[in-house]
């Protein structure tokens, strides 16, 4: 494997494990048994590494956000879709844990992250409208708008929230809970029949 690739892989691992602010370029080089100078041959600086990792993340989550707008979704599709979103966040969780800091320092990442967030919201609106059109959901425009924001907030911050509550540092078992939690946002707007279906689905899903 190329050194550049290894730097990205090692950085991602260390960032996720220890938090981005607690991982210096020296740490990364050390962990890989290369020299700091070598690292700086491949990346201009630490933010450059973060930007590269972010672009990997961006590509991955973009693919996940693509699918549901292409066609109408049924309930099972939505689980899968949300699962993919949560998987991406989990994989690059260091970004979300120090979001404010990272976005503050890094203009490029800030602009692009904003775009992803807006896209999340628009995707949520599109899905809801699809459900309303299909007659299995009832909501006014205003309700849909507020709902989409709530979906975006919970999807964005659920893993942070869960991490504070349950002290266990790793384990991604919370993804299922995150998906469930987002679904409970939509649930009360569904027609009764669908609400029950969702209820059964979620109990299967969470074992």
Q: Interface residues with DNA (CB under 7 A)?
A: 2-4, 22, 24-27, 33-38, 40-42, 44-46
Nearer to a copy of itself, 15 or 81 (CB): 15
> E-assigned strands of the chain?
none
Q: Which is nearer to a copy of itself, 67 or 75 (CB)?
A: 75
DSSP string, 56-107: HHHHHHHHHHHHHHHS---HHHHHHHHHHHHHHHHHTHHHHHTHHHHHHH-H
In eight-state DSSP terms, residue 139 is -
Q: Which is nearer to a copy of itself, 25 or 156 (by Cβ)?
A: 156
Task: Measure CA 120 to chain center.
Answer: 10
- Give me the residues that bind a copy of itself (CB under 8 A), please: 19, 21-22, 97-101, 103-104, 110, 113-114, 117-118, 143, 146-147, 149-150, 152-154, 156-158, 160-161, 163-165, 180-181, 184-185, 187-189
Taking the alpha carbons at both ends of the chain, their separation in whole angstroms is 39
Q: Which is nearer to DNA, 42 or 119 (CB)?
A: 42
Is-contact 4 11, C-beta < 8 A? no
| Smallest distance from a copy of itself to CB 100, Å | 4
Contact partner at residue 126 from a copy of itself, DNA, none, CB < 5 to 8 Å by partner kind = none
Q: How far is the CB of 20 from DNA (least distance, A)?
A: 9
> Which helix or strand (DSSP H or E) is residue 198 part of?
helix 192-205
């Amino acid at each position: 494997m190329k050194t550049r690739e290894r730097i990205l892989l090692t950085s991602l691992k260390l960032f996720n494990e220890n938090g981005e602010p607690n991982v210096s370029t020296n740490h990364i080089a050390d962990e890989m048994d290369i020299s700091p100078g070598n690292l700086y041959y491949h990346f201009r600086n630490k933010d450059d590494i973060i930007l590269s990792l972010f672009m990997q993340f961006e590509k991955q989550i973009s693919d996940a956000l693509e699918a549901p707008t292409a066609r109408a979704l049924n309930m099972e599709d939505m689980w899968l879709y949300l699962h993919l979103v949560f998987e991406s966040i989990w994989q690059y969780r260091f970004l979300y844990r120090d979001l404010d800091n990272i976005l503050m320092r890094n203009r490029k990442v800030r602009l692009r992250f904003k775009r992803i967030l807006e896209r999340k919201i628009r995707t949520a609106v599109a899905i809801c409208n699809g459900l309303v059109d299909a007659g299995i959901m009832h909501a006014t425009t205003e309700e849909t708008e507020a709902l989409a924001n709530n979906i975006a907030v919970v999807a964005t911050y659920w893993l942070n929230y869960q991490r504070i509550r349950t002290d266990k540092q790793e384990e991604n078992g919370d993804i299922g809970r995150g998906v469930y939690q987002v679904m409970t946002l939509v649930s009360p707007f569904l027609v009764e029949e669908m609400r029950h279906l969702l209820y059964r689905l979620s109990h299967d899903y969470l074992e």
